[in-house]
Structure 1
Amino acid sequence: MDSDDFYRLIRTWLTIHLPRARRLSPHTIRSYKAALNALLDYLRQTRGLQLDEVSFAALDHATASGFSIWLLETRNLAPSSVNQRLAAIKSFLAYCAGEDPALVAVWLDVKRIRPVRAPARAPDALEVAAVEALIRAPGQDTLRGLRDTMIILLLFDTAARIQELLDLTPADIDTTAGRGRVTLIGKGRKTRTVPIMDTTGGHLDQYLAAFHPGTPDPATPFFFTTRAGQRHWMSQDNISYLLRKHAVTARQHCPDIPERIHAHQLRHARAMQMLRADVPLPHIKEFLGHANLATTSIYATADNQMVRDAIQHAASSTPDPAALWKGDDDLLLQLAGLK
């Protein structure tokens, strides 16, 4: 089967099968789309395959295995994120096998790839000084600086997952002083409303005045990029890029900022801040949108570990831290439903 068949099946999977047959949420479908885009990026960077050269012939056990390693070591994704992308690729190939028996062998070959094992470790939360330096780094002298400041501040104050932030619309924001809050749509389309600081509300009002003047469309993207005069939803790669960019500036004032920065470190930092302020774990669980308390309890374990690390450090000091497709590739991705 050639590349035409490959992209035809991608399009029907994304636009018909997932939303209509499986009735998956737009959030989940975007996640699956991101996995396919990552696979195409991997094939281009490691195999030299351009979009119109990709077909099912490029997909096998070796490709899927190399893809998972590439996500871990080059994209610096967490094992859980790698497993999510692998699961999306397997789901796509299972659909293709059902559409064409000739593709069953491809699906079974890739299906043999085992999930990446995640090592047990404490959340890599940023310290408060690092968070403050990161928030200050973009500055607010330009519209882009204002936007980036708002993104970093909101990621921290709401402890939102990166996709939860990207899914925000103006209708999800309430900046009323003393009652400010943000409504987030989390995993499984579960909605939760989290309070925000009054200072964050003030920054939100400033952002709304600059980017959503007047009475904004309540369904428009709260954070967006502009292409050809049209507003588009931001991608996770956009957020990752701006965090890495501003971390370079922030590191000049706070050397503790790690070289490998990601949005979840701000979420972890907020959770640790709440824990140290004696907020009960069940309240933190609801704030973070965790399904069970055991997931939240890791922050209590992490805090004990930090105490031990601090003691060890004190003893040791005693004398004796997105490929943008262009040209025809843009059209090809759009036709396949990937943009």
Structure 2
Amino acid sequence: MRSDDFFQLVRSWLTIHLPRARRLSPHTIRSYKTALNALLDYLQETAHLELMTITFDIINWTTITGFVTWLLDNKHLSAATANQRLAAIKSFLSYCAGEDPALVAIWLDVKQVRPARAVVHPPDGLTMSAVEALIRAPGQHTSRGLRDTTIILLMFDAAARVQEVLDLKPADIDTTPSAGRVTLTGKGRKTRTVPIMDKTGRHLDQYWSEFHPVAPAPGAFFFYTVRAGQHHQMSQDNIAYLLNKHAAAARQQCPELPARIHAHQLRHARAMQMLRAGVPLPHIKEFLGHANIATTSIYATADNKMVREAIQHAASSTPDLAPIWKGSDDLILQLAGLK
């Protein structure tokens, strides 16, 4: 099979199948593209192949197993990230098998490659005192402070992924008192509508008045940056910068804030808060937009505080047992087998 056939299928998968047939987001497609580029790097580095010589003939169980090991040992990726790369390669080969029956055997062979065993780490959510300190840090005496406060508060309140907040349009936001909500577009372009606190709604209204004084253009992003006089969507790097900037200031009053923080910690903190408030896991699953409740259950297994409190509560409600070792000293020693 020719190299042209391989790269022609790569191109049609990335530019036609994923965006048009499967309607995946640009972010997901970039992730798939990264996986393919990593595979090409692996083949060039380990098999000393030039791009023009790479064909499907080199793709098999042994090659892809070695690729996963290379990602872990040479590129020092986590097991979870390596498994994402593996899943992308399998998805590509599944598509190829559908396009060319001659490639079915390759797909079935690679399909048997087992994912790397991932260590499940408990969610690294911020404590509530850390969340409160972070929300207060930007202040609201400047436009930028108002913007940053609104972003941090909304990410926490809606337990939103950072890209879900960045993708918000004005039409996705309803700040009606006692009925406020935002519609988030998550992974796989799946949407979910989550309620927000009235306090969050008031901050959104203030931001709206300041940053959208006239009706925004259709398709305009709610949160934006200005470059060369034009509005542009904020990036995840923008969010990472403002979070760590304000965390550095908030750490003066709240030393428990970690040295570096990321947006997902606000999402974790909200999920843990809901769990401790007694919200059932299936409801938290829908709120977070998880596809599988097993993902949500990590919060339950990680919450040692809840387990400890439950054990202490159970112990306090358990009556003291009557002692079974009672009587004279001789009797106790006999019962214990010491006489």
**CA apart distance, 1:199:** 0.6
Distance in 2 separating the partners of 1:142 and 1:72: 42
Contact 1:243–1:263 under 8 Å retained in 2:
yes
Structure 1 segments (4+ residues) deviating >3 Å: 8-17, 34-41, 54-57, 60-73, 79-99, 110-117, 304-309
CA distance 1:254–1:56, shift in 2 (3 Å)? farther
Distance in 2 separating the partners of 1:251 and 1:56: 55
Structure-1 residue corresponding to 2:197: 197
Q: After the TM superposition, which residues 1-339 of structure 1 pair with which residues of structure 2 at under 5 Å, given as runs? A: 14-20=14-20, 23-27=21-25, 29-33=26-30, 36=33, 80-81=80-81, 83-84=83-84, 87-88=87-88, 115-304=115-304, 308=308
TM-score, normalisation: structure 1: 0.66
Distance in 2 separating the partners of 1:290 and 1:195: 17
- Residue identity matched to 1:31: T
CA distance 1:211–1:86, shift in 2 (3 Å)? farther
Contact 1:36–1:89 under 8 Å retained in 2:
no
Distance in 1 separating the partners of 2:180 and 2:75: 38
**CA apart distance, 1:126:** 1.0
Q: Which runs of 5+ in 1 are unaligned?
A: 1-5, 42-53, 100-106, 312-339
Deviates more, 1:159-168 or 1:84-93: 84-93
Instruction: Name the SS for the 1:291 alignment partner.
Output: coil
Distance in 1 separating the partners of 2:224 and 2:199: 22
**CA apart distance, 1:89:** 6.9
Contact 1:19–1:25 under 8 Å retained in 2:
yes
- Residue identity matched to 2:164: E
- Residue identity matched to 2:22: L
Deviates more, 1:205-214 or 1:282-291: 282-291
Q: Which runs of 5+ in 2 are unaligned?
A: 1-6, 39-50, 55-62, 100-106, 312-339
Distance in 1 separating the partners of 2:211 and 2:75: 34
Deviates more, 1:166-175 or 1:233-242: 233-242
**How many percent identity over aligned positions?**
66
How many pairs are equivalent? 295
Q: Deviations over 1:42-100 (max 9, x none)?
A: xxxxxxxxxxxx9999xx98998676679867xxx8x545643564477679989999x
Which structure's relative contact order is higher, taking Cα pairs within 8 Å and 6+ residues apart?
A: 1
- Residue identity matched to 2:205: D
CA distance 1:111–1:229, shift in 2 (3 Å)? farther
**CA apart distance, 1:38:** 10
Over aligned residues, Cα RMSD in angstroms? 4.4
Distance in 2 separating the partners of 1:263 and 1:247: 11
Contact 1:175–1:181 under 8 Å retained in 2:
yes
Distance in 2 separating the partners of 1:149 and 1:56: 53
TM-score, normalisation: structure 2: 0.66
Instruction: Name the SS for the 1:209 alignment partner.
Output: helix
- The structure with more radius of gyration: 2
**CA apart distance, 1:238:** 2.6
Q: Deviations over 1:89-137 (max 9, x none)?
A: 77679989999xxxxxxx9xx9999755431232222111000111122
